[in-house]
Amino acid sequence: MITLKNIVKAYDVKRGNSGANAVDGLDLEIKKDEFVALLGPSGCGKTTTLMMLAGLLKPTSGEIYFGERLVNHVEPKDRNIGMVFQSYALYPHLTVRDNIAFPLRERKMAKPAAYERAKEISKIVQIDHLLDRKPAQLSGGQQQRVAMARALAKNPEILLLDEPMSNLDARLKLDVRDEIRKLQRDLGVTTIIVTHDQEEALAISDRVAILNGGKIQQYAPPHELFSQPVNLFVASFLGNPPMNLISGAVQESNGDGVQTVVTKGFNYVIPAARKLPSEHIGKSVKLDITQP
Ligand SMILES: Nc1ncnc2c1ncn2[C@@H]1O[C@H](COP(=O)(O)OP(=O)(O)OP(=O)(O)O)[C@@H](O)[C@H]1O
């Protein structure tokens, strides 16, 4: 459905940034109807990647395909995407009805038909009683639903969500998270969410791409990220409490084969069930000692 091939994004160095690529050779494939999260620490390139999918930013190099179609130079309005921004970006002077109908009117749909569709989609996200209000007369959760309704009004093939729950309180976040997932399944729309909240990403997604420094560290279903992290970054980024890593040289006693990690402060005996392959003997390792 969506393929990113070796995507690089370098922002203009003159504007005072370090000159490092914000996105640095990113490959990603997203299947039809999949729910994928881009997760990583601040500045890792999540939003930049989403903006390139939306067409609001152009990659410096690399290719973006929607199906077979190369979309690098396709305008946002011609990409058949819906987007929800962190700020919701609702038009304050328009009613909820007109906010939802806006993308349809932009596509030259007649007003009665656009209003009919606005009503239909507002029922699905349970805000049909609020159609005559202005955004300022809504709670944060209600504004979030209006933003979702507007993004879904034109039946997009792809839904892009940029930290859509970060302005909601903890309780509401959980409800909205479940609703978004249900809506996504019911409507069958391929969805990409940007978040720095690992719990949110792991709870809502089919697969999670963990980014650091503009590169994908691992792209896998949530359970696999936990059970088989591919590198130290993933291992220490995930989990609450985080892993407790010690570094030191591995030694093995000749008699009983007990392995020990020798550190400056203390020696750690590796439990028998977690013995390391023999090639690690004498080498330096980092070991998680959070788990027994
Ligand atoms: N318009 C810009 N001009 C110059 N550099 C930028 C611009 N936007 C982002 N960057 C830089 O690109 C890198 C990636 O930024 P991006 O916003 O994609 O990160 P992010 O993972 O979404 O972070 P956050 O979680 O803080 O929003 C950062 O180093 C950032 O400083």
Q: Measuring from atom 16 of ligand 1, which residue has the nearest CA?
A: 45
Residue 13: what pLDDT?
A: 63
Place of tokens 């249900």: 182
**Residue 238 C-alpha to ligand 1 middle, in angstroms?**
21
Buried b (16+ CB within 10 A) or exposed e, 171-194: eebeebbebbbebbeeeebbbbbb
**Ligand 1: which atom is nearest the Cα of residue 20?**
29
Q: Measuring from atom 13 of ligand 1, which residue has the nearest CA?
A: 22
Q: What ipTM, to 2 d.p.? A: 0.95
The answer to whether 182 and 35 have CB atoms below 8 angstroms apart is: no
9-23, 64-78, 270-284: which is most confident = 64-78
**Residue 49 C-alpha to ligand 1 middle, in angstroms?**
10
Domain regions of the chain by residue span: 2-237, 245-288
Query: Looking at residue 276, what DSSP letter applies?
Result: P
Q: Measuring from atom 29 of ligand 1, which residue has the nearest CA?
A: 43
**Ligand 1: which atom is nearest the Cα of residue 47?**
22
- The binding-site residues of ligand 1, defined as CB within 6 angstroms of any ligand atom, are 11, 15, 17, 22, 40, 42-48, 196
**Domain boundaries 2-237, corresponding CATH code:** 3.40.50.300
Query: Which pLDDT tens digit goes with each residue over 237-275?
Result: 887 777 788 889 999 988 888 999 988 878 888 888 888
Place of tokens 């609020």: 130
**Ligand 1: which atom is nearest the Cα of residue 50?**
18
